[in-house]
Amino acid sequence: MLGLQRAESPLHYVVGGALGQSVSLYYRMVRDTSAVGAPIKEPTMTLGEIRHDAGALLPGAVIRRHVLWRYSLVWRK
């Protein structure tokens, strides 16, 4: 699963935003863009909350942080 996390604090938001804008600008310069076409919902959980809930529901799930507030969650039955 690939998802978006909510910033944990205003400082995380500002620092992540500065880095995120730089990465996003770079991607737009070197790649073609297209409309997503999928519904988009603002993230409501921080990465800590996601880790906590995933640990309770999916023991052994591996969560990795990525740029632009993204995370991936991999769980194998």
47-62 mean pLDDT: 93
**8 A C-beta contact, residue 71 and residue 3:** yes
pLDDT for 19-44, tens place per residue? 777 777 887 889 887 777 877 778 88
Looking at residue 16, its pLDDT comes to 66
35-61 mean pLDDT: 88
Written as one letter, the residue type at 25 is L
Beta bridge partners of 63: 73
- Whether the per-residue pLDDT at 49 is higher than 90: the answer is yes
Between 64 and 42, the higher pLDDT residue: 64
